[in-house]
Structure 1
């Protein structure tokens, strides 16, 4: 092997290892070195960012690992890689560069021994060599051409099989003792029996009783504190009902972290791996799975440059993946981020262009396999968005869930808010235009317009052909490439671009000074300007000219199915059925746009909140348009999801958001049902008085970024890392990170940052969990998506009271839902969720720090009863943080107990 040098950079310094040994260097020398010499690196984008040289290239060990061990988990750090390949982790940053040389030698030896992922490697390597992958020459002599032609991706993947429709579930009643017996089996005979968990399992079983009336599901609202054991508590009756009734229970989560946890818990329920894959299925939206047709196109020249290398590595993974989930599955989350202008999103079906049975890979499709597997499964692990999408516009009407467990139920309101909202924006309309007309500019890829996808229908059915042609003509009124520049310059083209221009003009005209902040602007859709009213009239006519042929085409496609022409075999029928479903929800979307536009200049709809917005980031506009949300989004949620169901469990540790049960019913949709829900409550079993402390720091000035940075740095040093920092604004997060990252690194305390480091959020959490000295700062996504028990998380720091962001939508809901009390409920829920990251098991200890001198006492009941709350100075907070980090127990002297 040629002796390549290695380069490593962190916030603590920069090091090079070569034939002269290992040495620290300056930034300029390192950049020149990397430009002149191919160097071994670990995570090139991250190293490049730390060097201030974004285009850094080299031989990235993570790419090599992804090729050799597709679908295998590894924490993408020197220590994580070392453990994965059986080496001793480097002792410090200075030892990383020599380690990279040793790790490279170990990795390149992999093909010499037993290698489970050998099949397909030679074939992939030939393509990677043509794409000039720098690792290819080093592997060429180590991976010889197989003597017998080997199976590769598309020949290796198994085909799914059709199955008879599943019969309706049997009507059964679960006995309490049997439910407790199943719970005992799940928890294990040696586990302590938790009273709260047993009570919760019995309560959850009410949802699986026979339904007594139409549109009146048996609903259970359960607020079960952290540590109760909610997961096994509801899996006990759910799995028992599925087994005895022969039906499926859908378990819906909000975060991917909980989905992964549920998948892991399946081993308790069904130890045999093969049987578990059959009876427990994870489902996500179509956009989460790799599309084999898109992947094939990328492999055959649809991608160029570095993106072509990514496609080949994804193909290696696709041959070994468990489920084809490219977002949050077993594809390493760090892999796409290694390719700065990566094309991973183009490898999924994000535009609804699937041709279903018309695809040559239809019988091997991961999406179709998951859909069919879920039809036969006992438990389907999904997410809130997918459950709502399937209920509102899914193709699988015969297998829609009738028994549902919504874990993380406190997120149902916001999930429904997003699902049932309407946005007539430039980004949304240009996507519809592309779906109808296909790409307007040249370029690679298989993107095709509607007329190409349904060409056989157009040739067979004259009326259908006319409808398609009319749709294409109508779509020309929608925004096209370059629309933002034309609108900003006052030169819109077409009715919809003119409408967006009028929206932009009115938003800026009514701006109250927020424009200076560089971020998004909005204003109520009230008292519209004459220009907006005039533009709305032309836009309404354009949308009407588009929706009419959409309706006509839908009728013609249904007629084609009914007529059953000679060429309409099973695959063609399935393709047309898919087109009908895809067309149907887009037709409904255009109808909703039309209703929103027609409201301009007319009376307001009391059930909805309408506003105009210009979306910007750091002063750069990227979208604009009109928005509509339900004042109460649980109304459509109740109609489309709850009422058709037979049984529903909604569980969360913060279901009532610091309020009473009326709040829980309002935010879950239960208030729209005729049958009152069953209520369950159990406090967390953890001893918060002994193991946790809340510190309200009273001498850090709000909005003072230098002071905020100083506070975060001192707290991280005091606790020796293990800090989760939560921010309400990305700008302040970046400002704090820029001031303290280098200082902390020099003390051996790595600082990870969402929205700063070129690493996906899931991987950041993996790195944080793996290193007790690391700290992680981020925004709202970390408030719910982090499950880090043990010493890796011992301090949670929030920059201030998490008041809701003032917006048109928030103002309307605040007025309708209780005023100040509505704000307080939101803040209590956020504080409770953030505090909940701290104590995840009985032996966890730590502190929750709020950098606010003005936190109202009325909000402190967000924390569990008995928790010690102190108002302290930053000096005192640092002393307490240090004591908690290194002492086995927590003192309570001088604390205020709530």
Structure 2
């Protein structure tokens, strides 16, 4: 066994310990900080330990960084239990044993370097680079890795190149036979599986979305609600895969959450057990901002990053050589790795500003984004997300490979996704991003970022009109917000027409918006109605400045198209691809500026009943971070139907809660069906779960709303009664933090770990993995956990909501409430949220648990949000605690080993 000279440090809510040699001793917070500052210590998740110590700058020999170096593209739950499972050693039984365990785990991890482990290639080169970057582990790791006898194939040499292929033929028109669909479903579920009537009926109904359409702009739209446990994933994969096979086309399966994207990727193993075939047939697509940019990485490795950011870049480079798809957000890059570096540099490794030079990039042929786009053109199933589907359709991307068939899973979120996609925001942060894209580096900016003039220098030198347009665009961009705009606006000293406009917006928002006691220090907003003279006066020059910007942008787009048509000698394949990319980028940015002009026309002008317009100052705890004008569609499903649905031949919209909060007419309105010339099909099948026997809803009647001590006491007592396994849901981050601060230590002393979104420096996906891995752990969170958590089995047996999830009374909500039926509109939203929250509790037939709502004011009319037959009781907290103890200690077969329903 390797003997490391370094001590190990562990801190939890129940205490602090350090192990050095054979001894382990408890420390005070001050002692631990002093020792960690003076001595390199082994620890697990430095940001989390630093937060618990109150020492944000804590660093050391983090086991997670060591694991990421030794085993890139491999996941490990970042807890002592997860480390123990990965290393094949016993899990420490108590908190005070963890420090000594970390030393043993470090030795076990390092022991792999004694042999030829699977990820050895590239390790020596990476270790040398990390030594120069002063990585804490480098003096330990580098001497253990012998120099290869021949040069290693490192990163860029390892990455495969994609190949151009002939365009795919249009899909054939086929009609699926029900018998064939059901046979495919039987193959997916397995020969030994018990036939489920609901799943078979669902698969047959879903196949209607794949029939040939009868007329242009008239897709076959099928709405299908399938209760939890029906097995809808395999239910729609059966007809989708069969149609792709028979028609020779691709089906895009779109989700709202990354968690479901990952789950779908796992389910496709049933379709294609062979990994190589599956990789060809199934492709996961996300927005380009999710993927590693190889040019940005190269810049970081060559000195663009310094300090901890440089270490992250080298660990990401190690991962890049082994990743399946280069996805940095939700892919095989562990979510905890980026969090270890406190977001220091990770954003700069992706293309978040749309600065891609396409074929002008030396790594273009190995680009993860381009590879995914080309692979999806040949795939049978493309697993995407609602936002990407809408962006591609709205911006005319990939027209040659535009899908004709969609499956929208988590269809109840289509309204929200369309709302975000088709909205307009003329804000300081949006305008400064546009300025940076046009102008390039200014002042002390570092990195490889280049402005529009540099990116199109060859075009400008070839085409005089194009060069003049580029010059005009750069000149007009000077009127946009620039670095330091927020401070200048706050001080009343704006620079340029756009900053002057933002100053007027800020003044009117502060003058008219009301700060309620609970929301003091947070965002301000007011309707864009009866604007002040100052705002009207500022809007005119701002509109002139934007008009002066959009005109040469449109002109440049036309000149670039002319260059493509003329085909000069220098326009080889790479240059052509780069010009085409520039045309696309210019096009959607020109559309953005045009939408800003339309919004400014509203200032002092007539209102457009299709839209909701308002002014906002975005703040967090009193700190301003953005200012601007906003516009949303009153009904965002209208542009969704026009741009996405009408371009398709068929679409299946499915969810377990599609009609939650209303009837079928409401469900249709939330997905855009009324905007189509042909009526949508409807299908509904109830969950097979025995909710009446397996679940109970308890409404606590004596916890006063707004009483944080009482709320914290209720959460603590309920979690103690269930012995963990609790998902605590909050409607406000500040209340989550306040309750967590009061209960975390108390629960830790009882041996019940508590994790929290917006508190722990850990990404949400990893928090869910930690929660799932420990049946005694509990997890607090907000909306993302209410809608996107799938934790079957004993690890989640109690859901606690702090109160009725009423919608926030924003300007946008008020307008939609008025148009949607007043209080009935609010009720539909609450029912949908309650149904989603309750849906976290029972994920398979053997699950059991309680749903507790801490609200005496829960209206009886909303109780139909819960499944029929579920017992619902209103009791004081004492009785609720007893019910939790009694139910969870006696519930038969809570289910540790039952398989996850597909």
TM range (shorter): over 0.9
Match of 2:898 in 1: none
- The structure 2 residue matched to 1:874, chosen from 877, 889, 892, is 877
Q: Distance in 2 between matches of 1:420 and 1:862?
A: 30
Aligned to 1:46: 48
Summarize the alignment of residues 132-143 of structure 1 with structure 2, pairs less than 5 Å apart. 132-143=134-145
Q: Does 1:84 align with 2:108?
A: no
Equivalent residue for 2:897? none
Show the counterpart of 1:301.
Answer: 303
Are the equivalent residues in 1 in contact too, given 2:523–2:616 (CA < 8 A)?
yes
Indicate whether 1:764 and 2:767 are aligned: yes
Partner of 2:124: 122
Q: How far apart are the structure 2 equivalents of 1:231 and 1:889?
A: 28
d(CA) in 2 for partners of 1:295, 1:808: 42
SS in 1 for 2:626: strand
| Structure 1, 719-728 or 511-520: larger mean CA deviation | 511-520
- CA distance, structure 2, for counterparts of residue 51 and residue 599 of structure 1: 52
2:572 corresponds in structure 1 to: 569
> Paired residue for 2:675?
672
Q: Which residue of 2 aligns with 1:379?
A: 381
Q: How does 1:165-564 map to 2 (within 5 A)?
A: 165-514=167-516, 517-564=520-567
Question: How far, CA to CA, are the matches of 1:710 and 1:890 in structure 2?
Answer: 30
Alpha carbons of 1:191 and 1:456: their partners in 2 closer, same or farther (altered >3 Å)? same
In the other structure, the counterpart of 1:161 is: 163
Deviation of 1:19 after TM superposition, in Å, equals 2.9
- TM-score, normalised with respect to structure 2: 0.98
SS of equivalent residue, structure 2 residue 121: coil
Q: Quote the residue 1:857 is aligned against.
A: 860
CA contact (8 A) 2:4 2:107 kept: no
Name the stretch that deviates more: 686-695 or 13-22.
13-22
Matched, 1:748 2:751: yes
User: What SS is found at the alignment partner of 2:323?
Assistant: coil
Which residue of structure 2 aligns with residue 896 of structure 1?
none
Residue 693 of structure 1 contacts residue 847 of structure 1 at CA under 8 Å; is this kept in 2? yes
SS class of match (1:643): helix
Q: Any idea what SS the aligned residue of 2:852 has? A: strand
Is the contact between residue 754 and residue 779 of structure 2 (CA under 8 Å) also seen in structure 1?
Answer: yes
How big is each residue's C-alpha offset from its partner over 1:735-761, in whole Å with a ceiling of 9 and x where there is no partner?
Answer: 000000001001100000100000000
- TM normalised by structure 1 equals 0.99
1:794 to 794, 797, 812: 797
Q: In structure 2, how many angstroms separate the alpha carbons of the residues matched to 1:445 and 1:514?
A: 43
Contact 1:795 1:849 in 2 (8 A): yes
Equivalent position SS for 1:805 = coil
The separation in 2 between residues aligned to 1:140 and 1:854, in whole angstroms, is: 62
Shift of 1:340: 2.2
CA distance in structure 2 between the partners assigned to 1:63 and 1:830 by the alignment = 38
Displacement of 1:885 in angstroms is: 2.0
SS of the residue aligned with 1:584?
helix
Displacement of 1:888 in angstroms is: 2.7
- The equivalent position to 1:603 in structure 2, one of 603, 606, 609, is 606
Deviation at 1:322, TM superposition (A): 0.6
Counterpart for residue 826 of structure 1: 829
Any conservation in 2 of the 1:303–1:444 contact (CA below 8 Å)?
A: no
Residues 207 and 239, structure 2, Cα contact 8 Å, conserved in 1: yes
SS across alignment from 2:705: coil
Q: Is the 8 A contact 2:284 2:383 kept in 1?
A: yes
| 1:692 aligned partner | 695
**SS state at 2:152 partner:** coil
> For the Cα contact (< 8 Å) 2:122–2:155, is it kept in 1?
yes
Using the TM superposition, give the Cα deviation of residue 20 of structure 1 relative to its aligned residue in structure 2, in angstroms: 5.9
1:659 aligns to what?
662
1:372-399 deviation digits (Å, cap 9, x = unpaired): 0000000000000000000011431111
Write the distance in 2 (CA, Å) between the matches of 1:4 and 1:683. Answer: 58
C-alpha distance in structure 2 between counterparts of 1:19 and 1:861, whole Å: 61
- The corresponding residue for 2:784 is 781
From 857, 868, 884, the counterpart of 2:887: 884
Are the aligned partners of 2:726 and 2:798 in contact in 1 as well (CA < 8 Å)? yes
Q: For the Cα contact (< 8 Å) 1:337–1:758, is it kept in 2?
A: yes
The answer as to 2:626 corresponding to 1:618 is no
1:409-463 C-alpha deviation (Å, 9 max, x unpaired) = 0000000000000000000000000000012122431011000011110111111
CA distance in 2, matches of 1:701, 1:395: 52
Aligned residues: 891
When the two chains are superposed, the root-mean-square deviation of aligned CA atoms in Å is 1.0
Q: Distance in 1 between matches of 2:834 and 2:732?
A: 16
Shift of 1:658: 2.4
- Give the distance between the partners of 1:885 and 1:777, measured in 2 at CA: 20
**Matches of 1:395 and 1:356, distance apart in 2:** 14
- Corresponding position of 1:650: 653
| 2-structure distance, mates of 1:707, 1:114 | 57
Which whole-Å CA distance do the structure 1 matches of 2:410 and 2:672 have between them?
15
Cα distance, 1:341 vs structure 2? 4.7
Is the Cα–Cα contact under 8 Å of residues 514 and 524 in structure 2 kept in the other structure?
A: no
Whole-Å separation in 1 of the counterparts to 2:464 and 2:723: 73
SS at match of 2:644: helix
What 5-or-longer segments of structure 2 have no aligned partner?
Answer: 895-902
Is residue 436–residue 472 contact of structure 1 (8 Å, CA) maintained in 2?
A: yes
Partner in structure 1 of residue 725 of structure 2: 722
Deviation string 1:676-713 (CA, Å, 9 cap, x unpaired) is 01100001100000000000000000011110000000
- Cα deviation, residue 882, structure 1: 1.3
Bigger drift between 391-400 and 833-842 goes to 391-400
CA distance in 2 between counterparts of 1:323 and 1:492 reads: 44
1:586 partnered with 2:589: yes
Segment of structure 1 superposing worse, 513-522 or 848-857: 513-522
Distance 2:288 2:245 in 1: 28
SS at match of 2:260: helix
2:28 maps to 26
Query: 1:879–1:39: structure 2 CA closer, same or farther, 3 Å change rule?
Result: same
Q: Is the contact made by 1:128 and 1:136 (CA closer than 8 Å) also made in structure 2?
A: yes
Partner SS state of residue 845, structure 2: coil
Cα distance in 2 for partners of 1:454, 1:512 equals 48
Q: Runs of 5+ in structure 1 lacking a partner?
A: 892-898
* 1:890 to partner: Cα distance: 10
The answer to whether the Cα contact below 8 Å between 2:293 and 2:349 also exists between their aligned partners in 1 is: yes
1:110 — aligned with what? Answer: 112
Alpha carbons 2:48, 2:760 under 8 Å: kept: yes
Aligned-partner SS, 2:697: strand
Aligned to 1:895: none
CA drift of 1:657 comes to 2.5
Tell me, in whole angstroms, the C-alpha distance in 2 between the residues paired with 1:110 and 1:889: 44
Structure 1 residue 2, shift from structure 2 partner:
4.4
Counterpart contact for 2:515–2:524, Cα < 8 Å: no
